[in-house]
Protein backbone atom coordinates (compact mmCIF):
# COMPACT_ATOMS: atom_id res chain seq x y z
CA UNK A 1 0.00 0.00 0.00
CA UNK A 2 1.22 3.52 -0.84
CA UNK A 3 2.34 5.47 2.19
CA UNK A 4 -0.17 8.21 2.87
CA UNK A 5 1.29 11.71 2.90
CA UNK A 6 0.01 13.75 5.84
CA UNK A 7 -0.06 17.45 6.62
CA UNK A 8 -0.38 19.39 9.86
CA UNK A 9 -3.69 21.21 9.40
CA UNK A 10 -3.58 24.73 10.81
CA UNK A 11 -6.83 24.20 12.71
CA UNK A 12 -5.10 21.82 15.11
CA UNK A 13 -3.39 24.80 16.73
CA UNK A 14 -5.60 27.89 16.29
CA UNK A 15 -3.46 29.86 18.75
CA UNK A 16 -0.25 29.35 16.74
CA UNK A 17 1.49 32.10 14.82
CA UNK A 18 2.36 31.51 11.15
CA UNK A 19 6.00 30.96 12.18
CA UNK A 20 4.98 28.39 14.80
CA UNK A 21 2.95 26.47 12.22
CA UNK A 22 6.07 26.12 10.10
CA UNK A 23 8.20 25.19 13.11
CA UNK A 24 5.80 22.43 14.20
CA UNK A 25 5.43 20.96 10.72
CA UNK A 26 9.22 20.89 10.39
CA UNK A 27 9.87 19.42 13.83
CA UNK A 28 7.34 16.59 13.62
CA UNK A 29 6.64 13.70 11.30
CA UNK A 30 4.61 15.56 8.66
CA UNK A 31 5.11 15.60 4.92
CA UNK A 32 3.51 19.05 4.57
CA UNK A 33 2.39 22.03 6.62
CA UNK A 34 -0.80 24.06 6.61
CA UNK A 35 -1.19 27.81 7.03
CA UNK A 36 -3.97 30.06 8.31
CA UNK A 37 -3.96 33.66 7.06
CA UNK A 38 -5.64 36.45 9.04
CA UNK A 39 -6.58 39.49 6.98
CA UNK A 40 -5.97 41.96 9.82
CA UNK A 41 -2.44 40.82 10.64
CA UNK A 42 -0.99 39.41 7.42
CA UNK A 43 1.26 41.76 5.43
CA UNK A 44 3.60 41.43 2.44
CA UNK A 45 6.42 41.24 4.98
CA UNK A 46 4.69 38.21 6.55
CA UNK A 47 4.58 36.52 3.16
CA UNK A 48 8.29 37.10 2.62
CA UNK A 49 9.23 35.92 6.11
CA UNK A 50 7.11 32.74 5.95
CA UNK A 51 8.32 31.93 2.44
CA UNK A 52 11.92 32.15 3.62
CA UNK A 53 11.25 30.21 6.83
CA UNK A 54 9.40 27.43 5.01
CA UNK A 55 12.14 27.15 2.38
CA UNK A 56 14.91 27.01 4.97
CA UNK A 57 12.99 24.45 7.06
CA UNK A 58 12.18 22.28 4.05
CA UNK A 59 8.42 22.62 4.63
CA UNK A 60 6.08 22.59 1.64
CA UNK A 61 2.63 24.02 2.37
CA UNK A 62 -0.21 21.75 1.38
CA UNK A 63 -2.86 24.39 1.92
CA UNK A 64 -3.69 27.93 2.88
CA UNK A 65 -6.92 28.86 4.73
CA UNK A 66 -9.42 30.33 4.26
CA UNK A 67 -11.07 32.09 1.32
CA UNK A 68 -14.58 32.76 2.60
CA UNK A 69 -17.14 33.71 -0.04
CA UNK A 70 -19.73 36.06 1.48
CA UNK A 71 -22.97 37.58 0.15
CA UNK A 72 -22.69 40.82 -1.79
CA UNK A 73 -19.97 42.16 -4.01
CA UNK A 74 -16.84 40.03 -4.60
CA UNK A 75 -14.18 40.56 -1.92
CA UNK A 76 -10.78 41.48 -3.43
CA UNK A 77 -9.08 39.90 -0.41
CA UNK A 78 -9.95 36.45 -1.71
CA UNK A 79 -7.95 37.02 -4.87
CA UNK A 80 -5.11 38.33 -2.70
CA UNK A 81 -5.21 34.99 -0.89
CA UNK A 82 -4.63 33.21 -4.20
CA UNK A 83 -1.57 35.37 -4.74
CA UNK A 84 -0.29 34.77 -1.19
CA UNK A 85 -0.74 31.03 -1.65
CA UNK A 86 1.22 31.19 -4.90
CA UNK A 87 4.03 33.22 -3.34
CA UNK A 88 4.30 30.73 -0.48
CA UNK A 89 4.29 27.78 -2.86
CA UNK A 90 1.13 26.34 -1.31
CA UNK A 91 -0.53 23.65 -3.40
CA UNK A 92 -4.09 24.51 -2.37
CA UNK A 93 -6.34 27.31 -1.15
CA UNK A 94 -9.31 26.23 0.96
CA UNK A 95 -12.57 27.99 0.06
CA UNK A 96 -15.99 27.96 1.74
CA UNK A 97 -19.13 29.88 0.93
CA UNK A 98 -21.74 31.65 3.05
CA UNK A 99 -23.47 33.12 0.00
CA UNK A 100 -26.98 31.61 -0.31
CA UNK A 101 -27.18 32.76 -3.94
CA UNK A 102 -25.71 29.72 -5.69
CA UNK A 103 -25.28 31.52 -9.00
CA UNK A 104 -23.38 34.34 -7.32
CA UNK A 105 -21.30 31.93 -5.25
CA UNK A 106 -20.43 29.96 -8.38
CA UNK A 107 -19.34 33.14 -10.18
CA UNK A 108 -17.14 34.16 -7.23
CA UNK A 109 -15.59 30.70 -7.08
CA UNK A 110 -14.98 30.84 -10.84
CA UNK A 111 -13.14 34.15 -10.37
CA UNK A 112 -10.81 32.55 -7.83
CA UNK A 113 -10.16 29.59 -10.13
CA UNK A 114 -9.41 32.01 -12.95
CA UNK A 115 -6.99 33.95 -10.75
CA UNK A 116 -5.24 30.71 -9.78
CA UNK A 117 -4.63 29.66 -13.40
CA UNK A 118 -0.95 29.08 -14.01
CA UNK A 119 0.07 29.69 -10.37
CA UNK A 120 0.26 26.06 -9.25
CA UNK A 121 -2.49 26.73 -6.69
CA UNK A 122 -5.77 24.84 -6.75
CA UNK A 123 -8.87 26.43 -5.18
CA UNK A 124 -10.66 23.78 -3.14
CA UNK A 125 -14.36 24.21 -2.40
CA UNK A 126 -15.23 22.71 0.99
CA UNK A 127 -18.82 21.74 1.76
CA UNK A 128 -20.44 21.40 5.19
CA UNK A 129 -23.70 22.07 7.01
CA UNK A 130 -22.16 25.18 8.57
CA UNK A 131 -21.92 26.79 5.11
CA UNK A 132 -24.37 27.46 2.30
CA UNK A 133 -22.77 24.64 0.28
CA UNK A 134 -24.06 22.01 2.67
CA UNK A 135 -23.58 18.71 0.88
CA UNK A 136 -21.20 16.99 -1.49
CA UNK A 137 -23.95 17.10 -4.12
CA UNK A 138 -24.22 20.90 -3.89
CA UNK A 139 -20.44 21.19 -4.13
CA UNK A 140 -20.35 18.91 -7.17
CA UNK A 141 -23.00 21.03 -8.90
CA UNK A 142 -20.83 24.12 -8.45
CA UNK A 143 -17.66 22.35 -9.61
CA UNK A 144 -19.48 21.07 -12.68
CA UNK A 145 -20.40 24.65 -13.61
CA UNK A 146 -16.88 26.04 -13.15
CA UNK A 147 -14.18 25.87 -15.81
CA UNK A 148 -10.46 25.52 -15.25
CA UNK A 149 -7.93 22.99 -14.02
CA UNK A 150 -7.36 24.98 -10.81
CA UNK A 151 -10.73 23.95 -9.36
CA UNK A 152 -10.97 21.20 -6.75
CA UNK A 153 -13.41 19.72 -4.26
CA UNK A 154 -12.30 19.31 -0.64
CA UNK A 155 -13.74 16.57 1.55
CA UNK A 156 -13.57 17.04 5.32
CA UNK A 157 -14.65 13.73 6.82
CA UNK A 158 -16.57 15.35 9.67
CA UNK A 159 -18.58 17.58 7.36
CA UNK A 160 -19.03 14.69 4.92
CA UNK A 161 -20.44 12.48 7.68
CA UNK A 162 -22.64 15.15 9.28
CA UNK A 163 -24.16 16.09 5.91
CA UNK A 164 -25.19 12.52 5.19
CA UNK A 165 -22.40 11.61 2.80
CA UNK A 166 -21.63 8.06 1.73
CA UNK A 167 -18.53 6.28 0.49
CA UNK A 168 -20.31 5.91 -2.85
CA UNK A 169 -20.50 9.71 -3.07
CA UNK A 170 -16.74 9.91 -2.63
CA UNK A 171 -16.03 7.23 -5.21
CA UNK A 172 -18.17 9.15 -7.71
CA UNK A 173 -16.08 12.34 -7.47
CA UNK A 174 -14.05 12.82 -10.66
CA UNK A 175 -10.45 12.04 -9.72
CA UNK A 176 -9.22 15.22 -11.38
CA UNK A 177 -11.30 17.28 -8.91
CA UNK A 178 -9.39 15.94 -5.89
CA UNK A 179 -6.21 17.62 -4.66
CA UNK A 180 -6.23 16.71 -0.94
CA UNK A 181 -8.68 15.92 1.85
CA UNK A 182 -9.12 16.66 5.56
CA UNK A 183 -9.67 13.51 7.63
CA UNK A 184 -10.51 13.27 11.29
CA UNK A 185 -12.63 11.01 13.45
CA UNK A 186 -15.50 12.05 15.72
CA UNK A 187 -18.35 10.63 17.79
CA UNK A 188 -20.85 8.77 15.64
CA UNK A 189 -23.72 10.86 16.98
CA UNK A 190 -23.60 14.37 15.62
CA UNK A 191 -25.10 17.64 16.79
CA UNK A 192 -28.63 18.91 16.28
CA UNK A 193 -28.42 20.22 12.72
CA UNK A 194 -30.88 23.00 13.56
CA UNK A 195 -28.48 24.35 16.21
CA UNK A 196 -25.73 26.36 14.51
CA UNK A 197 -23.71 26.80 17.71
CA UNK A 198 -23.72 23.03 18.27
CA UNK A 199 -22.57 22.44 14.69
CA UNK A 200 -19.63 24.82 15.16
CA UNK A 201 -18.76 23.30 18.55
CA UNK A 202 -18.71 19.85 16.93
CA UNK A 203 -16.33 21.13 14.24
CA UNK A 204 -13.83 23.01 16.41
CA UNK A 205 -13.94 21.13 19.72
CA UNK A 206 -15.10 17.53 19.36
CA UNK A 207 -13.03 15.93 16.62
CA UNK A 208 -11.01 12.84 17.51
CA UNK A 209 -7.81 11.08 16.40
CA UNK A 210 -8.04 8.91 13.30
CA UNK A 211 -9.62 5.57 14.13
CA UNK A 212 -10.69 6.51 17.67
CA UNK A 213 -14.21 7.71 16.97
CA UNK A 214 -17.36 6.47 15.33
CA UNK A 215 -17.15 7.79 11.78
CA UNK A 216 -16.93 5.46 8.79
CA UNK A 217 -13.37 6.68 8.35
CA UNK A 218 -11.93 3.52 6.78
CA UNK A 219 -14.63 3.59 4.10
CA UNK A 220 -13.74 7.21 3.38
CA UNK A 221 -10.02 6.56 3.06
CA UNK A 222 -10.61 3.51 0.89
CA UNK A 223 -12.85 5.53 -1.43
CA UNK A 224 -10.15 8.12 -2.15
CA UNK A 225 -7.01 7.77 -4.28
CA UNK A 226 -4.06 6.17 -2.48
CA UNK A 227 -1.79 9.08 -3.33
CA UNK A 228 -4.15 11.84 -2.13
CA UNK A 229 -2.46 13.89 0.66
CA UNK A 230 -4.30 14.04 3.98
CA UNK A 231 -4.41 17.26 6.03
CA UNK A 232 -5.29 15.78 9.42
CA UNK A 233 -7.98 18.11 10.79
CA UNK A 234 -8.13 17.01 14.43
CA UNK A 235 -9.54 20.23 15.89
CA UNK A 236 -10.25 19.26 19.46
CA UNK A 237 -10.60 20.90 22.87
CA UNK A 238 -9.36 17.66 24.45
CA UNK A 239 -6.23 17.71 22.28
CA UNK A 240 -5.54 21.37 23.05
CA UNK A 241 -6.03 20.81 26.80
CA UNK A 242 -3.90 17.67 26.94
CA UNK A 243 -1.06 19.14 24.84
CA UNK A 244 -0.73 22.89 25.44
CA UNK A 245 2.80 22.76 24.05
CA UNK A 246 2.41 23.16 20.29
CA UNK A 247 5.25 20.83 19.29
CA UNK A 248 4.03 18.09 21.60
CA UNK A 249 0.53 18.52 20.16
CA UNK A 250 1.84 18.19 16.63
CA UNK A 251 3.82 15.08 17.55
CA UNK A 252 0.73 13.53 19.12
CA UNK A 253 -1.33 14.08 15.98
CA UNK A 254 1.47 12.71 13.81
CA UNK A 255 1.81 9.60 16.01
CA UNK A 256 -1.88 8.72 16.19
CA UNK A 257 -2.45 9.44 12.51
CA UNK A 258 0.53 7.40 11.32
CA UNK A 259 -0.38 4.53 13.66
CA UNK A 260 -3.90 4.28 12.26
CA UNK A 261 -2.86 4.67 8.64
CA UNK A 262 0.00 2.16 8.90
CA UNK A 263 -2.12 -0.23 10.93
CA UNK A 264 -4.50 -0.49 8.01
CA UNK A 265 -1.67 -1.46 5.63
Question: Quick one: DSSP state of residue 162?
Answer: H
Cα-only R_g, the chain: 17
Measured CA distances, 224 to 40, 152, 173, 220 (Å): 36, 14, 9, 7
Mean pLDDT value across residues 173-182 = 97
Q: Could you report the per-residue pLDDT of 180-232, keeping only the tens digit for each?
A: 999 999 999 999 999 999 999 999 999 999 999 999 999 998 999 999 999 99
pLDDT of residue 264: 78
Q: Residue 95 — pLDDT band, cuts 50, 70, 90?
A: very high
Q: Could you report the per-residue pLDDT of 116-147, keeping only the tens digit for each?
A: 999 999 999 999 999 999 999 999 999 999 99
Among residues of the chain, what percentage have pLDDT more than 70?
99
Q: Residue 265 — pLDDT band, cuts 50, 70, 90?
A: low
Q: Could you report the per-residue pLDDT of 4-22, keeping only the tens digit for each?
A: 999 999 999 999 999 999 9
pLDDT of residue 162: 96
Q: Is the peptide bond before 148 cis (omega within 30 degrees of 0)?
A: no
Mean pLDDT value across residues 50-64 = 98
Per-residue DSSP letters for 35-86? EE--TTT--HHHHHHHHHHHHHHT--EEEEEEEEE-SSS--HHHHHHHHHHH
Q: Is the peptide bond before 66 cis (omega within 30 degrees of 0)?
A: yes
Question: CATH fold of 6-263, please?
Answer: TIM Barrel (3.20.20)
pLDDT of residue 114: 98
Which residues pair with residue 65 across a beta bridge?
36
b/e burial code for range 100-112 (CB count within 10 A of at least 16 → b):
eeeebbbebbbbb
Which residues pair with residue 67 across a beta bridge?
95
Q: Residue 160 — pLDDT band, cuts 50, 70, 90?
A: very high
Mean of all residue pLDDT scores within the chain: 96
Is pLDDT of 107 > 60? yes
Helix (H) or strand (E) holding 93: strand 92-97
For the chain, which residues make up each domain, given as ranges? 6-263
92 alpha carbon, distance to own chain's centre: 9
108 alpha carbon, distance to own chain's centre: 19
Q: Name the nearest CA neighbour of 97 among 145, 135, 63, 144.
A: 135
Amino acid sequence: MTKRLISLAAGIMPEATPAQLIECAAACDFDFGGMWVERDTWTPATTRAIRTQARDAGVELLDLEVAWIMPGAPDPWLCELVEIAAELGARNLLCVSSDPDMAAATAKFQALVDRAKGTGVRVNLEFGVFTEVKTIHMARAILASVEGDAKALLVDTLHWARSGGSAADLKAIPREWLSYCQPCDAPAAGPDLTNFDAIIDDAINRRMPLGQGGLALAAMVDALPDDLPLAVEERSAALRDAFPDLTERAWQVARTSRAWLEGRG
